[in-house]
């Protein structure tokens, strides 16, 4: 499986954004085949070239009323075209020799942004201000300031003449800020592309062809990266619908927690909240808490029986008989076709995605071998035994004495399915609970229901683990 981690536009260009390198390093340590693509940097490097500025100029000329910054740019277009690549090479550290020419301020054309260097104070001119800031030997730092203001002028031109959403370290930021309403972002994605959109689409296509990934991870650290990430995802969906897309990062962890619009999953297969390590820690806490809670409930039930001088036989826990094993197996394989048909229909309704149930989420995401074994022990051994005592032995038994078998089976099964907190998993769990109640009623013992419950959880866990292995 090939994984591609992508930084969408736009983040700060003067330093690498650390999320994707850190995650890539971890995944490689786990044996994964991982590549990275910084489309934020690549978009800027494609814009700030001679061909890129020529396209910007063409877009500016199509505007009916150019702004002062655009007019100044078009008036000195040849100067910009002949200097932009040298300025970028200097800022990247690839050609420091041009720094002297840039620092003299007679090489790069200067626009409105250079007003910040206007004379101030007691007769100091702009050159003296720069001397005060950087000293006689600070030629490189002085040149970096001049080149940065030069690029700021060009960014203003792009925003005012080619794409009103463009800006350094942010792209269409307002669309990210407006979420959890997805409509503005969706409308912009469906609108005719701007020059920047067209360049980003081309970069996304080239990146897809270059890496041919099976999975793509998009980091969304800030609102200014949201539109770029969704635009990249749209290109991937159109050109390679088989590629799985996951979105994560600081913005996803915070703002997208409240997003309830399902249309987001037209662009992403999954949203990753909190990250891998946090998930492992959360999973460990959840596993331990769940097992401890069930043990406490069972302990309370057994203590109540003891106070009434009753034994565990009251819960159906009589002496083990080999026929109980056969009854559990027979009932499970009798209802398995029903559960399989329900699962198939739900898979079609969810377009092949797994149900939003804890067992699927944990088994697909947990990567700690110890936690995985602990979770398997809980769901395959502890949970069937403890849950049967709670829901069939105690709850169903109590309701049966009040309402009779049918209503008790219905009520206890509804409660059991509802507590699993999954809309799509409700129906199969409800059917399973009815079968567990029926088996308990017919056998007079809780042990066949424990066997049936154990079989169901074990088969489900094996299926998810095989699926996880297949897609990895």
Domain interval for residue 27: 1-273
Is the separation of the CB atoms in 34 and 5 below 8 Å?
yes
Last residue of a domain, one of 273, 308, 324: 273
CB half-sphere exposure, 288, CA atoms < 13 A: 8
Instruction: Tally the domains of the chain.
Output: 2
Same domain (yes/no): 332, 226: no
Same domain (yes/no): 75, 50: yes
Report how far residue 196's alpha carbon sits from residue 55's, in angstroms, rounded to the nearest whole number.
10
Same domain (yes/no): 382, 430: yes
Same domain (yes/no): 308, 170: no
Report how far residue 325's alpha carbon sits from residue 338's, in angstroms, rounded to the nearest whole number.
21
Strands 170-171 and 166-167: antiparallel
Same domain (yes/no): 135, 209: yes
Q: To the nearest 10°, report the CA torsion of 324, 327, 333, 334.
A: -150
SS (H, E, C) 351-385: CCCCCCCHHHHHHHHCCCHHHHHHHHHHHHHHHHH
Same domain (yes/no): 311, 403: yes
Same domain (yes/no): 360, 413: yes
Same domain (yes/no): 359, 249: no
What is residue 121's three-state secondary structure? coil
Last residue of a domain, one of 273, 303, 336: 273
pLDDT of amino acid 288 = 66
pLDDT of amino acid 319 = 81
Report how far residue 99's alpha carbon sits from residue 147's, in angstroms, rounded to the nearest whole number.
9
pLDDT lower than 70: segments of the chain: 30, 118-137, 169-181, 258, 274-291, 294, 302, 305-313, 347, 350-368, 421-424, 471-472
Q: What is the mean pLDDT of the chain?
A: 82
Same domain (yes/no): 174, 84: yes
CA-CA distances (angstroms) from residue 453 to 113, 458, 460?
A: 71, 9, 11
DSSP symbol at 225: G
Same domain (yes/no): 238, 347: no
Q: Which residues, 6 or more positions from 244, have their beta carbon under 8 angstroms from its beta carbon?
A: 214, 215, 216, 269, 270, 471
pLDDT of amino acid 178 = 52
Rounded (10°) angle between helices 68-75 and 77-91: 90
Is the separation of the CB atoms in 1 and 33 below 8 Å?
yes
Last residue of a domain, one of 223, 247, 273: 273
Residues 263-289 have pLDDT tens digits of: 888 899 888 876 655 555 555 566 666
């Amino acid at each position: 499986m090939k994984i591609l981690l992508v930084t969408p536009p736009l983040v700060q260009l003067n330093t690498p954004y650390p999320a994707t390198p850190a995650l890539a390093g971890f995944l490689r340590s786990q044996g994964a085949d991982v590549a990275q693509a910084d489309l934020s940097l690549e978009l800027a490097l494609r814009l700030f070239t001679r061909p890129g500025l020529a396209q910007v100029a063409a877009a500016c000329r199509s505007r009916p009323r150019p702004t002062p910054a655009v007019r100044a740019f078009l008036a000195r277009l040849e100067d910009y075209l002949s200097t932009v690549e040298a300025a970028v090479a200097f800022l990247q550290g690839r050609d420091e020799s041009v720094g002297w020419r840039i620092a003299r301020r007679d090489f790069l054309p200067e626009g409105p942004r250079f007003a910040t260097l206007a004379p101030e104070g007691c007769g100091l001119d702009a050159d003296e201000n720069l001397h005060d800031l950087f000293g006689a030997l600070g030629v490189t730092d002085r040149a970096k300031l001049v080149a940065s203001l030069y690029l700021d002028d060009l960014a203003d031109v792009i925003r005012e003449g080619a794409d009103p959403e463009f800006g350094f370290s942010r792209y269409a930021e307002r669309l990210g800020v407006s979420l959890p309403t997805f409509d503005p972002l969706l409308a912009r994605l469906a609108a005719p592309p701007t020059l920047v959109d067209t360049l980003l689409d081309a970069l996304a296509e080239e990146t897809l062809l270059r890496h041919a990934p099976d999975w793509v991870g998009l980091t969304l650290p800030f609102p200014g990266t949201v539109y770029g990430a969704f635009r990249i995802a749209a290109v991937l969906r159109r050109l390679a619908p088989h590629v799985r897309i996951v979105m994560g990062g600081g913005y996803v962890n915070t703002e997208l927690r409240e997003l309830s619009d399902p249309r987001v999953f037209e662009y992403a297969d999954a949203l990753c909240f909190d990250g891998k390590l946090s998930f492992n820690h959360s999973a460990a806490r959840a596993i331990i808490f769940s097992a401890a809670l069930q043990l406490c409930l069972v302990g309370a039930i057994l203590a109540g029986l003891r106070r009434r001088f009753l034994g565990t036989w009251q819960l159906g826990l009589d002496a083990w008989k080999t026929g109980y094993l056969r009854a559990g197996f027979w009932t499970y394989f009798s209802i398995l076709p029903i559960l399989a048909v329900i699962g198939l229909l739900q898979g079609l309704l969810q377009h092949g995605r797994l149900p939003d149930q804890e067992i699927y989420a944990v088994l697909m995401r947990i990567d700690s071998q110890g936690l995985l074994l602990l979770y398997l022990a809980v769901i395959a051994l502890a949970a069937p035994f403890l849950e049967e005592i709670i829901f069939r032995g105690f709850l169903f038994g109590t309701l049966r004495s009040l309402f009779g078998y049918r209503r008790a089976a219905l009520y206890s099964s509804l409660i059991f399915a509802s507590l699993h907190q999954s809309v799509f998993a409700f129906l199969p769990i409800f059917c399973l609970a009815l079968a567990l109640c029926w088996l308990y009623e017919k056998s007079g013992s809780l042990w066949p229901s424990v066997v049936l419950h154990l079989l169901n959880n074990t088969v489900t866990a094996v299926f998810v683990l095989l699926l996880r292995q297949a897609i990895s």
